[in-house]
Amino acid sequence: MKTVICPSMLSADFNILGEQLKEIDATKAEYLHIDVMDGTFVPSISFGMPVIKSIRATTDIFFDVHFMIVNPEKYVDETAKIGADGITFHYEAAGEKTEAVIEQIRKAGCKVGLSIKPATPVSAIEKFLDKIDMLLIMTVEPGFGGQPFIPESYDKIREARKLIEDKGLSVDIQVDGGIYKENIASVKEAGANIFVAGSAVFKGSITENVEALAKELGM
């Protein structure tokens, strides 16, 4: 599986967002992680369509949109239209509608991601593994950057990677929350291959930070 670093825009300095995105473009990071929060599924509100649309004009990087919203089906088509490359939604938000939302994202031309919160077991989404491109295992409670990695996540990542392998699938496993140069290698070892990093990228020098993460990942 290919290894991907995804800076999380939530931690950017929005005063100089354009400059920071240009700096990211010149690093080994291949995805930009874009957290859309609605203040209902999670306590905070982040940014939405006008922001995504505006930054789409500045960079060709893969837009990895992470919906932390209720009723994800309401926003899939518009998000795809304004330039998302991948859309990830939460199983906890979609429930019975999960399969329909997967199909909707696929039909809209985007890569399909399905996410579970720390309290949701991998078994809850096992039946969707053959329908998605990426499983996002949240390694913190969704809602805020800068929280510590939840150690129980290691077992979930291992369990999910084993299930994916046993089924002969090639689903990416993304991790999001509390990823730093100190733990990224062990999270990769557990079976993740796509790494979201907010604070670890945006605190200090973006270029040096991405390089430090890449080094830990053997990239």
Q: Which residues here bind ligand DX5, judged by CB under 6 A?
A: 8, 10-11, 33, 35, 66, 140, 142-147, 176-179, 196-200
Min CB(90)–Zn ion separation in Å: 10
Q: Which is nearer to ligand DX5, 109 or 146 (CB)?
A: 146
Q: Which of residues 32-71 bind Zn ion (CB under 5 A)?
A: 35, 66
Closest to ligand DX5 by CB, 128 or 144 = 144
Query: Cβ–Cβ contacts within 10 Å for residue 1, how many?
Result: 14
**Nearest CB to ligand DX5, comparing residues 169 and 181:** 181
What is the distance between the alpha carbons of residues 114 and 104, in angstroms, rounded to a whole number?
13
Stretch binding Zn ion (CB under 5 A), from 36-44, 71-79, 175-183, 205-213: 175-183
CB of 137 to Zn ion, least distance (A): 11
Closest CA to 85 of 69, 66, 99, 64: 64
Kindly state whether residue 92 participates in binding Zn ion, applying the rule CB under 5 A.
no
Q: Is 179 exposed, middle or buried (0-12, 13-18, 19+ CB in 10 A)?
A: buried
The DSSP 8-state label assigned to residue 11 in this structure reads G
CB of residue 89 to ligand DX5, shortest distance in Å: 12
Number of residues that bind Zn ion (CB under 5 A): 3
Cβ-contact 32, 62 below 8 angstroms: yes
Q: Active-site residue 85, yes or no? A: no
Contact call for residues 150 and 178 (beta carbons, < 8 A): yes
Q: What whole-number distance in Å separates Cα of residue 57 and Cα of residue 25?
A: 13
Closer to ligand DX5 by Cβ: residue 80 or 179: 179
* 176 assigned to active site: yes
Q: Which does 178 bind (CB under 5 to 8 A by kind): Zn ion, ligand DX5, none?
A: ligand DX5
**Measured between alpha carbons, how far is 174 from 139 in angstroms, rounded to an integer?**
10
Distance of CA 1 to the CA centre of its chain: 16
The identity of residue 95, as a single letter, is G
Q: Which residues are marked as active site?
A: 35, 176
Under the rule (CB under 5 A), what is the footprint of Zn ion?
35, 66, 176
